[in-house]
Amino acid sequence: MVYTVGEMAKLMNLPASTIRYYDNEGLLPFVERSDGGRRVFRDADYETLKVIECLKKTGLSIREIKAFIDMVKRGDDSIEERLELFLARKEALERQLADLNDMLELVRFKCWYYETAKEAGSEAAVKKKEIPPEFKKIKAKLRLSKA
């Protein structure tokens, strides 16, 4: 199927200006042009844009994404480099997820704490209560001495 910039932008849930920017930065070297010079997108371009958005959301800069696109253009001789790039992104995301999970547990604990304080009408009442076991672990892990 063939798409205009606007149609591809809708599919990607991105502004058309972002897709044009990616193209101007050299991230979409495979995008064809119509006789009138308009960008013509195909299904494979959608997949490329999805990968670009993924890499962007994982923290890569436009320059780093461009380097990846250049690797793709080089073909099979860059497979190992591309694998290393994605292994590094996977490792970074796993660390990020672990950190986010810790923060989520802390927020859950604080929700319990303040809900309990609200019900009791005082924080002093919460401090006398036994902390539920699921929160003891995160409290210890994050070395929280106070509630």
Sorted by where each begins, the domain ranges of the chain are 2-82, 92-141
- 147 pLDDT band, cuts 50/70/90, is low
For 73-112, write each residue's pLDDT tens digit.
999 999 999 999 999 999 999 999 999 998 999 999 999 9
DSSP the chain: -EE-HHHHHHHHTS-HHHHHHHHHTTS-TT-EE-TTS-EEEEHHHHHHHHHHHHHHHTT--HHHHHHHHHHHHHGGGGHHHHHHHHHHHHHHHHHHHHHHHHHHHHHHHHHHHHHHHHHHTSHHHHHHSPPPHHHHHHHHHTT----
For 2-27, write each residue's pLDDT tens digit.
999 999 999 999 999 999 999 999 99
Lowest mean pLDDT among 3-7, 37-41, 72-76, 125-129: 125-129
What is the pTM (predicted TM-score) of this model? 0.77
% of the chain residues with pLDDT over 70: 98
Q: What CATH class does 2-82 carry?
A: mainly alpha
